[in-house]
Amino acid sequence: MKKVVVLMVAIALGLATTVSATNSPKEAVKLPVDFKKEIAKHLKYPKFAKENLIEGEVWMEVTLDGNSKVKIIDLSATNPELGEYVKDKLSDLTIEKTNFIVGTSYYLKVKFDLFEL
């Protein structure tokens, strides 16, 4: 289980990544550490993916609204089920007390890799 948390923290990569090669941001904004930790707490390797040996990556552009709720602006995934899983897990996520700047777009990649479990 510790490896999953480490995986999720590593997923955010410390630096933002692009949603897709064609929609690359002009300037990526570094994700605040507290936001990465919060994401890691909410995204575990899904049971359905482990059972079916599903791996993949999910790229997102996210922002924080005025009510401290995470909003996914854009999402792309190598596996649609993993993309839906991430959307579902983050859909009602509220982050209080963060350096996340309201209205700023942040880019991150979540990697689901069975070898890193």
Measured distance CA(27)–CA(16) in Å, rounded: 9
Would you state the pLDDT for residue 95? 84
Would you state the pLDDT for residue 102? 82
Measured distance CA(74)–CA(61) in Å, rounded: 5
Instruction: Say whether pTM exceeds 0.75.
Output: no
pLDDT grade for 29, boundaries at 50, 70 and 90: low
Residue ranges of domains in the chain: 2-116
Would you state the pLDDT for residue 14? 34
Q: 2-116 maps to which CATH number?
A: 3.30.1150
Q: pLDDT tens across 68-103, in order?
A: 899 999 999 999 999 999 999 998 888 877 777 788
Measured distance CA(85)–CA(88) in Å, rounded: 5
